[in-house]
Amino acid sequence: MLGIKRLYLFILRSFVPLFVMTFFISLFVLLMQYLYMRIDDLVGKGLGIDVIAELFMYAAISLVPLALPLAILLASLMTFGNLGERFELTAMKASGVSLIKAMRPLIVLMVLVSVGAFFFQNYVLPVAQTKMWTLVFSVKQKSPELEIPEGVFYDQIPGYNLYVDHKNRDDGKLYDVMIYDVSKGFENSSIILADSGKLAMTDDKTHLFLYLWDGESFENLREAGAGAKNVPYRRESFADKEILLKFDANFSRMDEESMRSQHVGKNIEELRATIDSVEVKMDSVGTEYARIVAENTYFGLPYYTTTYDNKSMPHQVRTPDVDVKRPVNVDSIFKGRTSGIALNYLNQALMRAKRMKQDYEFKSLTISDDRNVIRRHTVELMRKYTLSFACIIFFFIGAPLGAIIRKGGIGMPLVVSVLLFIFYYFIDTMGLKMARDGKLEAWEGVWLSTAVLLPLGAFLTYKAVNDSAVFNRDAYVNFFRRLIGSNEVRKVEMRTVVMDEVEPDEALKRLDELTAEAKAYVGRYPGRQNYVDYWLKGYSRTALRSLSALLEQTVDYLTNSHDKMVIIKLMDFPVLRSLWLYHPTNYPVLGWVAIVLFPIGLPLYIAGTRQQLRLKAEIETIIRDAAAVRELIAEKQEQSN
- End-to-end CA gap in the chain: 78
Q: How far apart are CA 207 and CA 205, in angstroms?
A: 6
pLDDT value, residue 248: 58
Q: Measuring CA to CA, how many Å separate 557 from each of 265, 488, 565, 577?
A: 80, 20, 15, 20
Q: Residue 330 contacts by C-beta under 8 Å, 6 or more apart in sequence?
A: none
Model confidence at 2: pLDDT above 60: no
Q: How far apart are CA 488 and CA 402, in angstroms?
A: 36
CA-based radius of gyration for the chain: 43
For residues 447-480, one letter each, b for 16 or more C-beta atoms within 10 angstroms of the residue's C-beta and e for the rest, the string is bbbbeebbebbeebbebbeeeeebeeeeeeeeee
pLDDT digits (tens, 9 = 90+) for 268-316: 888 888 888 888 877 777 777 777 777 676 666 676 777 776 666 776 7
Averaged pLDDT of the chain: 78
- Entry field: residues in the chain: 641
Q: How far apart are CA 602 and CA 598, in angstroms?
A: 6
Q: How far apart are CA 357 and CA 267, in angstroms?
A: 39
Model confidence at 15: pLDDT above 80: yes
pLDDT (mean) for 577-596: 80
The percentage of the chain sitting over the pLDDT mark of 90, rounded to a whole number, equals 2
Model confidence at 478: pLDDT above 70: no
Residue 122 is classified by DSSP as: I
List the chain domain ranges. Answer: 2-141+380-465, 153-246, 504-640
Q: Residue 119 contacts by C-beta under 8 Å, 6 or more apart in sequence?
A: none
Q: Measuring CA to CA, how many Å separate 202 from each of 160, 207, 548?
A: 18, 6, 99
Q: Measuring CA to CA, how many Å separate 48 from each of 54, 491, 587?
A: 10, 80, 73
Give the pLDDT band of residue 112 (cuts 50, 70, 90). very high
Q: Residue 518 contacts by C-beta under 8 Å, 6 or more apart in sequence?
A: 547, 619, 620, 622, 623, 626
What proportions of the chain, in percent to the nearest 5, are helix, strand and coil?
A: 65, 10, 25
Q: How far apart are CA 69 and CA 64, in angstroms?
A: 9
- Spatial contact of 81 and 402, defined as CB atoms under 8 Å apart: yes
- Spatial contact of 400 and 466, defined as CB atoms under 8 Å apart: no
Higher per-residue confidence, 209 vs 269: 269
Q: How far apart are CA 55 and CA 384, in angstroms?
A: 23
| C-alpha torsion angle, residues 394, 398, 404, 409 (rounded to 10) | 170
- Spatial contact of 426 and 360, defined as CB atoms under 8 Å apart: no
User: Residue 314: beta bridge partners?
Assistant: 308
pLDDT value, residue 43: 63
Model confidence at 497: pLDDT above 70: no
Q: Residue 318 contacts by C-beta under 8 Å, 6 or more apart in sequence?
A: 303, 304
pLDDT (mean) for 530-550: 86
Give the pLDDT band of residue 225 (cuts 50, 70, 90). very low
pLDDT (mean) for 532-548: 86
- H helix or E strand, kind and range, residue 155: none
- Given the DSSP bridges, would you call strands 174-181 and 190-201 parallel, antiparallel or unpaired? antiparallel
pLDDT value, residue 371: 82
pLDDT (mean) for 159-163: 78
Give the pLDDT band of residue 348 (cuts 50, 70, 90). confident
168-177, 214-223, 330-339, 571-580 — which one is most confidently predicted on average?
Answer: 571-580
pLDDT value, residue 460: 83
Q: Residue 293 contacts by C-beta under 8 Å, 6 or more apart in sequence?
A: none
Residue 64's CB is within 10 A of a number of other CB atoms, namely: 21
Q: How far apart are CA 392 and CA 109, in angstroms?
A: 10
User: Residue 216: beta bridge partners?
Assistant: 193, 237
pLDDT value, residue 485: 56
Look up the pTM and report it. 0.59
pLDDT value, residue 1: 47
pLDDT digits (tens, 9 = 90+) for 411-461: 666 777 788 888 888 888 888 888 888 888 888 888 888 888 888 888 888
pLDDT value, residue 243: 77
